[in-house]
Structure formats: structure tokens, C-alpha cells
Chain A
Amino acid sequence: MSATTATVQRAGPAWAPRVFLRRLANGDAVAHLITLIFAAAVILITASLFYILWRDSALPRAAFGWNFLFTQTWDPVFEKFGALPFIYGTLMTSFLALLMAVPLGLGAAIFLAELAPARISDGLTFVIELLAAVPSVLYGLLGVFVVVPFVRTVVGPALENSFGVIPFFKGPGYGVSFLTAGLVLSIMIVPFIISVSREILMAVPVDQREAALSLGATRWESTWRVVVPYARSGIFGSIFLALARALGETMAVTMVIGNVPAISASILAPGYSIAAVIANEFTEATGDLYLQALVELGLVLFLLTFILNGMARLLILATTQKGTAHE
């Protein structure tokens, strides 16, 4: 070790590293450059990910073109590949998950930030953040042993008996379904919404609340009419973070969705998602076209996330004209 250091010192001018370190410590220019490199690295990683997905999906893009996105057959034996059922399943399960997780998460965040005593709020927040760190395969197991039987024996029949006339709720009652996957996903993403939204709500300045109260608003009116709108861009941020997680979730979804590449109107029917089919079929995909079709599915998921995130940005921009807190 000592020998190496000695060599370095002898090799170059003795002052060079020290000057560099001093400049780093108090020099804006150096810090600027270094952080710029780090930021550029993130963009570089994203760009090369896109490039590799694009390059390695050349065969199916040439063979199917845009039809890849709009056809429903997924046949590895006769090498016909269409992504539509997987795109539908990914969007449907994520949509169902948000439908359930947003009211729940937002309500809990309001309680924790505005109403609960600090000790309870901190304790509960710790537990919620713990939930966010649980590996997804455990949520999958919870899904298989609890949610699937629950949907098959309780939720499914109840929905079918009450609303069975609407195609949305018309059987079949296997237990594995879009709804089950949505339920499991909602449990997984709710901690993100709660924990981020709570932080945002707590960052709303106290004078906003005091102003509302002094104008004669009740506590709830001040929360719902003033604090929540003030924090909405951050709350949207938390929702889209949760959406991103739901779109890409693999393990928990494949365990409860039924893995059937079909588009069904009923949310009680089995389906499939993009991430799940890639994980399921990648290892045993033998043909080049087959393998590259799976890579192209990855590309589709990448672009889907990209588009949804872009839309989220626009939505936030459109709703933050008036003075609000940013994330």
C-alpha cells in the first residue's frame, strides 16, 4: 500500500492532488463540473437503456411493425407476436390499483399530517415506511394465500350478484384476475402515496392554515379547501411515483393475475401484464424472434412509463398556475 502512494507522489508534481482537493472543497467550478457529470450519467443510462432495447428488438419490429402493438395473438410456436393483451393488462391493473390506493393513501396522509397527534403520526409513519420496503414476492404470497381466495369466494360472487348485468363484473370466478392484481398492487403502492403526501402536507406553511381559520373556516374546510390544493402538485407527484411502481411490478402480479394473454371486459377475468410475461418467458425463449419480441415488450413498457410520466408532468404544470408548494 505505502509503496503505491509513494510512487504516485513521485510520479506527478507533488502539489497537484492537494490543489485539486482544495478547489473541490471551496470551488464552485469544480463542484459544478462533477455534479454535472453525475447528472449526465443518469441521462446516459436512460439513453443507453433505450438504445439497447431498440437495437435488440430489430427482428420483431421488421416482422410485425406497428401491428405488434395492436394484435392479440402471442404464439411462440408459430412465432406470431402481438402485445395488446399485455399492454391492456398492465394499464388495467395499474388503473385499478390507483383507483383503490389514491383515496386510501390521501385520506391516511391527511389524517397523519393534519389531525393525528405527533406521536401517533410518527409511529404510524414508521410502520408505513416499513411496508414500502417489504419485498414484492411477499406481497405476492399474501395475494396467493389471502387475496385470491377472498376474491374467489367473497368479492367476486358479491360483485357478480349485484352488478353482474354490467360486463365489468361478469365472472368468471377463478379468483385470479385483473381485480386481484389491482388489489395486491394497491396494497403495495399505498405506502408511497401516504409517506410522500404526508411530507408534502406537512410542508404547507402554517400561515396558510391560520389565514383560513381566521376567515371562519372549520378545521376540515381549512384542510380540504386550502392545505390540500396548496400541496396538490406534490400529491400528484406521489401518485405518479406509485403508478410507476405499479406499472413495472412483476413478481406479485404474475402470482395473482392468472397469466392469460386475453383482453376481457370483466375485471374478474384473468389477464397478463408486460413485466410478468417477460419474467415468465425470457429464460426459456429459444428462437431469436421470440426473444426479441420479449425485448420489444420491454421497449413498449419503457415507452409507456415515459408517456405516462410526461402526461403527469403536463398535468402538474397545468394545475400549478396559482401559488402552490412544489415537491
Chain B
Amino acid sequence: MKKGVSILTIAALAFSLASPALAQNGVMSLTGAGATFPFPIYSKWFDEYHKMKSNVQINYQSIGSGGGIRQITAGTVDFGATDGPMTDAQLAQSKVQILHIPTVLGAVVPIYNIPGVSAELNFSRDALAGIYLGTIKKWNDPAITKHNPNVRLPGENIVVVRRSDGSGTTYIWTDFLSKVSDQWKNGVGNGTSVNWPVGLGGKGNEGVSGLVKQTPNSIGYVELIYALQNNLSYGRVQNAANVFVKADLAATTAAAAGAAKSMPADFRVSITNAPGKGTYPIVSFTWLLVPTTIQDAGKKTVIKDFLKWMATDGQTYASQLGYAPLPKEVATKVIASLDKVK
């Protein structure tokens, strides 16, 4: 009996020495960590990919963009994921060269609760910036009423609600506000958490929508997917072409298509306030972070194959889960960029 055990042990040892990524049954396992926002689509993708290639197992931990960036720069995971692109300083600090791969798009929408008002409100760029800066204090401020001529807005104080936890949603929202208001850009800036001039903080999309639902005369922002899944009504936002657009998946993808022509080679691009008539302005990519040099030949093949599948067939799963798929132009560029992974 003792002999039997040791033979098994030696066999297992030999196996694991032969290829670190291969466990007993020849299963290749990859680890990734990062953003929580795209977690539902990522887990769907990894699951579907595993069904096609049963020898590949991809584990993803949604620990947040900050954690994703830290782990990929330290080289403790095979890939990372983030909602906001890495800064130049972060890239310079990294031990490995990192490639940003856009995967899907997310949009952020304004939600509000004004007793007696059920109409869809139009929010101009200046109105949103003013409300979140605290310079527009009442619902019947001319900056709001001007674009909502048929709605009787009350003279009540606006209760501003925003995220209390660091999040990609806040990143997109503040990125938009930075582009449309210099006062915001210089005074507050954009990030996953900022020093808010006004407002109450709710934890997560559910915290923000809960506070908005409970508090009369309030305004908040949530992910488009969250609003769609929970049947929340949300406002239209004025885009760069001065059209008031209601967010949906098509208007979200349009934002990326509009930006595709001027897309930088490393895909680190902000597409809020993008040009185009049908474009919804509060939109962003979410990215996978992949090292450009992968030592393990097996892993390299699998990662490149997965990313290629993600940019083509994988995109069909996006809209069922409420994410806007990449526009064709961008998907093509993504596939071309995979040659950089060596």
C-alpha cells in the first residue's frame, strides 16, 4: 500500500514538473483578476470558452480595477482587467509591458426621483455638471427647465447622490463631467473615487438607486445595465452634437464607432462626449490587461486564441447580458493587435 502511494506521488510530481500550467488531467488553468463591472460577461465568456475547449479553465476574480492593475503589474496573475485605462505612470512602474484590450462597452445614465414628475427629463451637459458641482441647487433652475419646456419642475433643492465605493461607473461619469466642464476638470477631476463637491454616497448601483428611490427630489447615476434590468426610468443626455439621446445598447456602440477612427494604437482612449448625432455621451470601454511577453508557450497560445474568439464570436453574448458589443472597426483592430503578444 505504501508503495502504491509513493508511485502515485512520483507520477503527480513528474506531471507538475513537466509543465507548471498543466495539472493532472492536462487542464490548462489561467488566472485573472480585476474589474467588477464586466464580471457577468467575463464569467459567461470563460464558461462558454471552457465548453468549447474543455482543457482550458479560466478563473477570474472580480476584486476591483485597482486590484487588477496591481496584480498584473506585480505579475501574480495571467491577465488583469480594469474599467479605467492605466496611467502612464502606472505603465512605467509595471514589471511587464502591458497591452490594453477593449472587450465591451458600458454606459452610465442619470436617474432621478421628483414627486409629481414622471416625464423623461433632458439633461444638458451644463446642467449635469452644474448639479454635481453644486452650482445648480434647485430643480426649477433655468439650466434644467430650458430643455424641459413641457415639464413642471418644483422649486425644491436637488439632493445629489453618487457612489461611495470606488468604481468604474464613477470613472465614466467623472470622465464625462471633466470633458464638458473646465471647472470640474480643474477642481474635481476624474477617477474611480473623487472629492465630491456635494452629494450623498450610496454603496454600489443598488445603494445609489435605493437612495434615489427613497429620497424625494434626488438625482443619481447608475450603469445602463442596472437601469435596464431593474426597469428604472432614466433621463436623456445632450451629446456633443447637441442632440438629447436616450441611452441604449445601439447608442452606446455608436459612441465607440465614432471614436474608432481616432483610436490610438494602445486602445487607451476615453470615448465620453464622442462625436456623432446618435451617440450617447457617457460611455466607456472596459479593458483586459495582457502582458506583451508570455513565457509559457501553452498559455500564450490559449490567451491569444481566447482574445480572438472574444472579439468575434464572443461578442454575440454581450447584448443578452446588457453590454454593448464592440463596433466592427474596433474588433478588427483588436485582433490585429494580438500580434504584439509574443
Per-residue contact bits, chain A 14-37, to B (CB 8 Å; 1 contact, 0 not): 000000000000000000000000
Q: A105-113, A118-126, A252-260: which lies at the B interface?
A: A252-260
A291 to B193, CA, bound (A): 12
A76, B203: Cβ atoms closer than 8 Å:
no
A207 at the interface (CB under 8 A from B): no
B165, A77: Cβ atoms closer than 8 Å:
no
A281, B195: Cβ atoms closer than 8 Å:
no
A284 to B190, CA, bound (A): 13
Per-residue contact bits, chain B 206-239, to A (CB 8 Å; 1 contact, 0 not): 0100110011000000000000000000000000
A285-B189 in contact given A76-B195, A77-B194, A78-B195 (Cβ < 8 Å): no
A283-B166 in contact given A76-B191, A148-B214 (Cβ < 8 Å): yes
Residues of A within 8 A of B65 (CB): 284, 286
Per-residue contact bits, chain B 139-183, to A (CB 8 Å; 1 contact, 0 not): 000000000000000000001000011111000000000000000
The residue that B66 contacts in the complex, of A78, A270, A280, A286, with Cβ under 8 A, is A286
A254-B193 in contact given A176-B211, A291-B66 (Cβ < 8 Å): no
A285-B166 in contact given A77-B188, A77-B191 (Cβ < 8 Å): yes
A258-B69 in contact given A76-B193, A77-B189, A78-B189 (Cβ < 8 Å): no
The residue that B203 contacts in the complex, of A152, A174, A175, A254, with Cβ under 8 A, is A254
B210, A281: Cβ atoms closer than 8 Å:
no
Which of A78, A175, A281, A284 gathers the greatest number of chain B CB atoms within 10 Å? A284
Give the number of residues in A that approach B within 8 Å (Cβ atoms): 32
A74 at the interface (CB under 8 A from B): yes
Residues of B within 8 A of A272 (CB): 201
A284, B64: Cβ atoms closer than 8 Å:
yes
A174-B215 in contact given A77-B189, A258-B200, A283-B64 (Cβ < 8 Å): yes
A74, B195: Cβ atoms closer than 8 Å:
yes
A283, B165: Cβ atoms closer than 8 Å:
yes
Residues of A within 8 A of B215 (CB): 152, 174-175
B201, A284: Cβ atoms closer than 8 Å:
no
B193, A281: Cβ atoms closer than 8 Å:
yes
A78 to B174, CA, bound (A): 14
A73-B203 in contact given A259-B164, A284-B64, A286-B90 (Cβ < 8 Å): no
B250 at the interface (CB under 8 A from A): no
B38 at the interface (CB under 8 A from A): no
A77, B200: Cβ atoms closer than 8 Å:
no
A260, B195: Cβ atoms closer than 8 Å:
no
B199 at the interface (CB under 8 A from A): yes
Residues of B within 8 A of A284 (CB): 64-66, 165-168, 192-193
B194, A258: Cβ atoms closer than 8 Å:
no
Closest to A148 in B: B214
A144 at the interface (CB under 8 A from B): yes
Per-residue contact bits, chain B 81-99, to A (CB 8 Å; 1 contact, 0 not): 0001001001000000000
B202 at the interface (CB under 8 A from A): yes
A252 to B286, CA, bound (A): 31
A270, B195: Cβ atoms closer than 8 Å:
no
Closest to B198 in A: A260
A234 shortest CB reach to chain B, Å: 37
B340 at the interface (CB under 8 A from A): no
A317 at the interface (CB under 8 A from B): no
Residues of B within 8 A of A229 (CB): none
A73-B164 in contact given A258-B201, A259-B201, A280-B203 (Cβ < 8 Å): no
Per-residue contact bits, chain B 51-71, to A (CB 8 Å; 1 contact, 0 not): 000000000000111110110
Per-residue contact bits, chain A 258-293, to B (CB 8 Å; 1 contact, 0 not): 111000000000101000100111111110000100
5 closest Cβ pairs, A-B complex: A284-B166, A259-B201, A283-B64, A259-B164, A77-B189
24 of the cross-chain contacts (CB-CB < 8 Å) are A3-B2, A75-B195, A76-B195, A77-B190, A80-B195, A149-B214, A152-B214, A174-B159, A174-B215, A175-B215, A258-B200, A259-B164, A259-B202, A259-B203, A279-B165, A282-B66, A282-B166, A283-B36, A284-B66, A284-B192, A284-B193, A285-B66, A286-B70, A286-B87
